[in-house]
Amino acid sequence: NDLPMAMTAHVIYSAIDPDRPATVSGRVVEEVIRGEIGFDGLLMSDDTSMKALSGDFPEKAEAILAAGCDMVLHCNGVMEEMQGIVSRIRPLAGKSLERANAALSAIGSIDAKQEEVVRAEFATYFEGVA
């Protein structure tokens, strides 16, 4: 529970909340993750584009934040979907912003040599991808 950030999963824990995936379950997020486990770091949702949650993208984003996650992840890069999400959610503020800043501080900065290694590795993985 002392990690700077974590991510939920779109799984149903039937003993805790048989009706909602963990990402949109206040019982899982607030009672278990924040309460019983005591995690107070930045909590990100799993990817909203995985088709595991019901509703359109703005509805998914609202449900994720209402459950107690700090950030909504949308990883597939479809701009129209991202715009829909942004149109309905609030800017990062309050405790969520504090958690995000703490997570960034915990990660630290990357030096030039590390950046060079990471960029080379990235280029290797995505060589030939347009």
Give me the number of domains the chain comprises.
1
Spell out the alpha helix ranges (H) of the chain: 26, 57-67, 79-88, 94-107, 112-125
49-74 per-position pLDDT tens digit: 998 999 999 999 999 999 999 999 99
The CATH number linked to 75 is: 3.20.20.300
Q: Domain range holding 78?
A: 5-125
Note whether residue 98 is domain-resident.
Answer: yes
Burial 36-70 (b: 16+ CB within 10 A, else e): eeebebbbbbbbbbeebbeeebbbbbbbbbebbbb
Residue bearing the bigger pLDDT, 4 or 127: 4
22 lies in some domain: yes
84 CB contacts (<8 Å, ≥6 apart)?
Answer: 56, 57, 58
Structural domain includes residue 130: no
- pLDDT at 121 exceeding the cut of 90: no
